Amino acid sequence: MVRVSRINSLNVLMNGFLVGQWHNFPNGATAFQYADEWLATSWGTSDLIVVATATASF
């Protein structure tokens, strides 16, 4: 029997705009990738710094 590895992804939106995707890998690693559309907005390039910690379960 072959086990299929899956990468779970979660779209992250703010006010209906795609900010990016949160990825959860089979080895337990996680990553966040900003959407190009988000980085092109003034929100994506503001001086606002947000520090957050989170635990996600997929």
CA gap 20, 17 in Å, rounded: 9
When pLDDT is averaged across residues 8-18 and rounded to a whole number, the result is 91
Higher pLDDT among residues 40 and 1, named by residue:
40
SS (H, E, C) 11-50: EEEECCEEEEEEEECCCCCEEEEECHHHHCCCCCCCCCCC
Higher pLDDT among residues 46 and 19, named by residue:
19
Q: What element of type H or E holds 33?
A: strand 30-34
Q: Domain residue spans in the chain?
A: 1-58
Higher pLDDT among residues 47 and 11, named by residue:
11
Percentage of the chain modeled with pLDDT above 90: 36
When pLDDT is averaged across residues 42-47 and rounded to a whole number, the result is 68
Say yes or no to pLDDT of 32 above 90: yes
Q: What pLDDT is recorded for position 48?
A: 54
